[in-house]
Structure 1
Amino acid sequence: MKALNKIRYAFLVCTLMVLVTLAGCNSADRSAEPPQSSHQGSEQEGAKKTPLNVEVFNLGERSMFAVSSVLVTGTADAILIDTQFSAADARQLVDKIKASGKRLKAIYISHGDPDYYFGLDSVHAAFPEAKVFATPQTIAHIQATKDAKLKLWAPQLGQDAPKQILIPEPMQGDQLVLEGQELRIIGMDGPTPDRTFVWIPSSRTVAGGISVMGAQHVWMADTQTPQSHMEWLAVLDRIKSMDPKVVVPGHFLPGASLDVRSVTFTADYIRAFDEETVKAKDSAALIAAMKQRYPGLGGEGSLELSAKVAKGEMEWK
């Protein structure tokens, strides 16, 4: 009997040892599994979402400056980038937003020149619940120049001049969020945070703002130094590096490419303008040289004023 008890005891001990070993192995297996971080989860969740839709509003030759506004929409809500120059154009933009059936949640002003924000009071009157944002540097630009710009343009705009200049709120961070998907404000960390562009990852779209032009002479009067042109070219290189499928130029005329070709066009134009500025004896020679390089290109008024500024024949602030 004692021998039998010893055998039973030994069997029990061995069984317990096997169970303990198996439990340890299972625990080790679980600890070796890769953790599911919250970031991984959000990426997987984002991949399932429908890309944000992008609609471009640009009246081309029917508008004084052929400036672009971009309406980014989700299933129910929308964000608007830039608000046109004249009240008449802004009212047409309002009609487009209303026709979308979306609720306008926010407006982003990408630059402090009046063609980007003079229409803001008309748009905001139609959508008073929408928050209006810009970078602190763009806000400073608007505040420093708005009175002079209004004095300059009000006589030409007449009843289509803004009734009041609305000042945006400063951005908190570098992105806006629409239905859980981000719109990144690019350039806040660079040397020209008053000249930003917007990157929409879900549709691989760039709203190029002031930095990108299409099918027209590039406005050069605001950038009057070699350093400013180098910084501009760096922004264009940054856009290219993001490999966008769609690029919306801040200004464009019919025939413009809404892709990276407009980025290349703008960069080539900047370099050509710099080369010809050095060689030209005056603005007339510079204008002639640029027309020869770009025959038939629209927006000659921009070229004429830019050439006068570049050759010191006119002051522009």
Structure 2
Amino acid sequence: MFKKSLLTLAVTGLVSFSTFANAANTLTLEVYNPGEKSVFPVSSEIVSGPHEVALIDAQFQRNDAQELVKKIKATGKKLTTVYISHSDPDFYFGLDVIKAAFPEANIIASPETIKAINATQAGKLAYWGPILKENAPTTVIVPQPLQGSSFSIDGQQVEVKGLNGPTPDRTFVWIPSLKAVMGGVPVAGDNIHPWIADNQTVESRAHWQQTLESIKALKPQVVVPGHFLPGAAQTLESVTFTHNYLTTLESELPKTKNSAELIAAMQQHYPKLQDGSSLELSAKVLKGEMKWPQ
């Protein structure tokens, strides 16, 4: 999960909207990302067919979820499905706003994601509620289990990938007709330090790399990172970046004695990346200087 310094939250910033379509099919993809104006620059995707709409991930803050509601209503189409790709709260805290606006929408996630949400949501709300204040959820909405490995929008398939892999709670979405991947938490934008604190073992990071390889194998034309800042590549470049970053980290971990040395090493490799706080916290966790989650 992308971690931004809570002492330096910006009150203004860019909102990223990207729209992708393919003339050979009837689906369009619109990306919403609040950028630096919110705690987390987390991505949500509105996928539209002729009559139906699906939403991938529901934002962290109420105000950003309300922006999604406006965008969905502006389509004039029915929201049929909301898919939550990961159990971090920046992917699902906005669900109460979405559900209030679209009570008939089917809100779903993988069984493993639901299990992780149920295990952590009380602690997440206790921690983030006082920070988010009026933008905290009034109630936490837990998705229902995805049936099978796909859902449809006006008859066109949207596939959930990773359900049978090593980390079924960290899925990504593949839309064959658009050749588009919604990368979710496995893909970081190529202008930020990826959040590594949740992957504290060599095995978990190897599993992450396997997920990235499975994305590459699809040969997508569009890849939307789960977190990014304006200007990030929405292509396989961000997948390659995340892969290379993890490889570099794995090489530097045994060479460095403490978090300060690891931070310095990674900054030398990636001097232009934003969100140094993610690197700082992740380095402390990986070097055993800090417990995470708290």
Same fold (TM over 0.5): yes
Q: Judging by fraction of residues, say which structure has more helix.
A: 1
3-state DSSP class of the match of 1:56?
strand
Cα offsets for 1:221-272 (capped at 9, x unmatched): 0011111111110110110010000000000111210000000000011111
Aligned to 1:100: 75
- After TM superposition, give the deviation of residue 88 of structure 1 in Å: 1.3
3-state DSSP class of the match of 1:97?
helix
From 40, 44, 49, give the equivalent of 1:74. 49
Q: Is the CA contact 1:188–1:196 (under 8 Å) kept in the aligned structure 2?
A: yes
Aligned to 1:190: 165
- Partner amino acid, structure 1, of 2:185: I
Task: Measure, in 2, the Cα distance between the counterparts of 1:249 and 1:134.
Answer: 18
Task: Measure, in 2, the Cα distance between the counterparts of 1:270 and 1:65.
Answer: 21
Is there any run of 5+ residues in structure 1 with no aligned partner, and where?
1-46
3-state DSSP class of the match of 1:89?
helix
From 218, 222, 226, give the equivalent of 1:242. 218
Task: Measure, in 1, the Cα distance between the counterparts of 2:283 and 2:176.
Answer: 37
Aligned to 2:88: 113
From 94, 108, 129, give the equivalent of 2:104. 129
Q: Is the CA contact 1:51–1:203 (under 8 Å) kept in the aligned structure 2?
A: no
From 85, 88, 91, give the equivalent of 2:63. 88
Cα offsets for 1:41-92 (capped at 9, x unmatched): xxxxxx9972411100001111211000011100111000000111111111
| Correspondence 1:140 to 2:82 | no
Task: Measure, in 1, the Cα distance between the counterparts of 2:27 and 2:66.
Answer: 24
- After TM superposition, give the deviation of residue 105 of structure 1 in Å: 0.6
Task: Measure, in 2, the Cα distance between the counterparts of 1:298 and 1:49.
Answer: 37
3-state DSSP class of the match of 1:210?
strand
Structure 1 residues 163 and 50 mapped into 2: Cα distance closer, same or farther (>3 Å)?
Answer: same
Task: Measure, in 1, the Cα distance between the counterparts of 2:222 and 2:266.
Answer: 27
Aligned to 2:15: none
Number of residue pairs the alignment of both structures matches: 271
Task: Measure, in 2, the Cα distance between the counterparts of 1:272 and 1:102.
Answer: 45
Aligned to 2:25: 50
TM-score, length of structure 2 as denominator length: 0.90
Q: Is the CA contact 2:26–2:50 (under 8 Å) kept in the aligned structure 1?
A: no
Aligned to 2:11: none
From 226, 232, 239, give the equivalent of 2:208. 232
Q: Is the CA contact 2:34–2:42 (under 8 Å) kept in the aligned structure 1?
A: yes
- Partner amino acid, structure 2, of 1:52: L
Aligned to 1:304: 280
Task: Measure, in 2, the Cα distance between the counterparts of 1:314 and 1:124.
Answer: 37
Bigger mean CA offset, 214-223 vs 273-282: 273-282
Bigger mean CA offset, 94-103 vs 211-220: 94-103
3-state DSSP class of the match of 2:131?
helix
Aligned to 2:9: none
* Max Rg structure: 1
- Partner amino acid, structure 2, of 1:198: V
Aligned to 1:218: 194
Cα offsets for 1:155-182 (capped at 9, x unmatched): 1101111111111110110001111100
Task: Measure, in 2, the Cα distance between the counterparts of 1:170 and 1:49.
Answer: 32
Q: Is the CA contact 1:138–1:194 (under 8 Å) kept in the aligned structure 2?
A: yes
Structure of greater relative contact order (alpha carbons < 8 Å, 6+ residues apart): 2
